[in-house]
Amino acid sequence: MKKNPNMKKTILFLIVSIFISINVVSAQVDDDDTQFWHETTLEIPFNKKTSGIIIGDLRTTDNISDLSDRRIGFALKYKFHKNLEIKPSYVFRVQPRTGPNRYEHRLRLDITPKKKWKKFSLENRSRFEQRIKTAGRTDNTFYRNRTKIKVPVKNSDGDTSFTPFASNDTYFDLRKTRVHRNDIVGGISKKIQKHLTTVFFYQYRRNFQSSTKHIHIIGVNLKFKID
């Protein structure tokens, strides 16, 4: 397979642009935070339409100085149609604290129609999410709508070298009937080998119902898939 000589320059340019955008936006606000997120998933296909997924997640806060979150869960992905995917999932969340840890159970259902064209693909995920909390905290019920566009970059052989993407995800609080937050994400995914895909991204989170209004997130995800 021939390599595109401009590929490395393009990746470097995108990464530098993301870090510049973090610094520019951070300089404009006071009530902000910078975080690092990492998620590892392992997908195990059961047949042509159904897969099981194991999920592990770590997150830091306070300008990447403190572990804020540990999550583990599982999902069942069902390809209902070539353009429609349904995925129920469960995630257990632990928030380490100086006092007693906080725990949370998340029950989610994703319904994702998608369409692929020659130059790009588009998907719109609807997520219904129930968050069951401990320590006397109020439970939450959210509807989340995420629109995502992916534009694969091909090499001279016509194979995909890497895939830039962008998405917008809005959280609607169904109990209080208001917009809770909004996430804007830009990044790159790249298949390193047959069973491993890496994802690098920058995410800007705008919180409408929190004292920390602006969060800047640098993330690296690993996606493993077993044949």
DSSP assignment of 122-188 equals EEEEEEEEEEEE-TTPPPEEEEEEEEEEE-PEE-TTS-EEEEEEEEEEEEEETTTTEEEEEEEEEEE
Kindly report, residue by residue over 117-145, the tens digit of the pLDDT: 989 999 999 999 999 998 788 999 999 99
3-state secondary structure of 214: strand
Type of residue at 45: P
pTM: 0.84
Kindly report, residue by residue over 3-34, the tens digit of the pLDDT: 455 555 555 565 556 555 555 544 445 579 99
Any domain includes 1: no
**CA 193, CA 8: separation in Å to the nearest integer?**
17
Any domain includes 153: yes
CATH of the domain at 142: 2.40.160.40
Give the range of the structural domain holding residue 70, as residue numbers without chain letter. 7-225
Any domain includes 2: no
